[in-house]
Amino acid sequence: MSGDPSLVKGPLKGYHHETYVLALPGGTGTVKVREPRSEILWFDRRCFRSEEELLRALQGHISRVPGIVDVAGMALQGFIEGRTLGEQRRPGRHVPDAAFEQIVGLFQEMVRVTPDMLSVERRCEDRDRAEDGDSDGFLERLLAFVEERVYRKNHAAFAGLFRALGISDESFTLLRKHVLGLQERPFCLLHADLHRENFVLDPKGWLWVIDWELAMLGDPLYDLATHLYLMRYPGDQESRMVREWCRLVERIRPGSSSGWERDLSLILDFKRAQSVFTDVIRVSLSLRDDAGFNWVALPVAAGKLQKILTAAAQPLGLPRVPSRPQIMAALIRWHGGQEAAQGDRAVLTGPGAS
């Protein structure tokens, strides 16, 4: 496509995709070519069928998102030159005021985009979508996705590990009771993955927003909660973001911040609980490679899971959180069970098996 292999850069750093950047012939632009990584587990509900078609629809609504270039019958995203906010300011550190104000401006633009304004094909059927304003129904559908597509889908392989960590079917019953009763808020466009690596600062200091594949239409407070959870602002800057967000969304669409004093903490609790189910699987799998079990990484992995479980103990109704040694022992037992299961399968499918 580029006509010159030396113009291709990559693969770029990224979790979900293998991404390359290429300059098109004749100086017509620089684009990204991406392919989902086959080995990656997807633990997030996706609303729109095509990120590229969504980006087309957002032109004129959101100031700085990648444009779309049509090349040989393919819609490719334009590449944004610059550095991510994460490269410049790691989680836990203050975000520069200029970037902070642009993030606030992004929320201001998104709350203007209502469900009826985007004629983009969606993945889910009408019956799987909450009615506009039904914040409870919106969160219930996200919760049900975690239960069915993360927990139950992987239960056969991870049941023993979940049980050892205090997680069971009842955890979802308790979580539902904990987050029940959200106030109604008018739905709008949500990015749903606004963390530091998805903000790119160009050489002029303008902030661009990339990776819209998890975007959805729903409760605006969910997007704020997800942003706070992922950004890890220092306390004073987090409080400032909440104040600025409430002021702006209420001015544009009254009712968008209704009940935030109670509901923001409940949605954050949902995010903490969601992290338990996804990270138990991801962390445990990260300890296995072609060489076997990674004993060196075990203490750090156990510490990470203990921290995640502690943060989610209340919404999941955990009477106690296992100690780090207990979590290490559970991970070792899980690994041993996986090896035994693989051995059994090898015997059953080996030469002479019937």
What total of structural domains would you count in the chain? 1
Whether 93 is in a domain gets the answer no
Is position 331 within any domain?
Answer: yes
pTM (two decimals): 0.89
If phi > 0 it is left, if psi is from -120 to 50 it is alpha, else beta; for residue 349 that is alpha
Task: Kindly tell me the sign of the dihedral angle through the C-alpha atoms of 159, 163, 165, 166.
Answer: positive
Mapped onto helix, strand or coil, the DSSP state of residue 91 is coil
For residue range 118-166, what is the model confidence (pLDDT) as tens digits? 989 988 777 788 999 999 999 999 999 999 999 999 999 999 999 999 9
Q: Is residue 159 part of a domain?
A: yes
Percent of the chain with pLDDT over 70: 89
In a domain, 326, yes or no: yes
The answer to whether residues 316 and 310 touch, using CB atoms and an 8 Å cutoff, is no
R_g of the chain, CA atoms, integer Å: 22
Reduced to 3 states, what is the DSSP secondary structure of residue 317?
coil
Residue 327 lies in a domain: yes
User: And the tokens for 154?
Assistant: 């992987």
List the structure tokens of 86: 């994460």
39-71 tens-digit pLDDT: 555 678 889 999 999 999 999 999 999 998 887
Domain-embedded: residue 113: no
Q: Is residue 209 part of a domain?
A: no
Note whether 186 and 193 are within 8 A (CB). Answer: no
How many CB atoms are closer than 10 A to CB 252? Answer: 15
Range of the domain at 161: 140-183+271-339
Element (H, E) at 170: helix 170-179
* Residue 26: pLDDT band with limits 50, 70, 90: low
Pair 109, 63: CB distance under 8 Å: yes
Residue 98 belongs to some domain of the structure: no
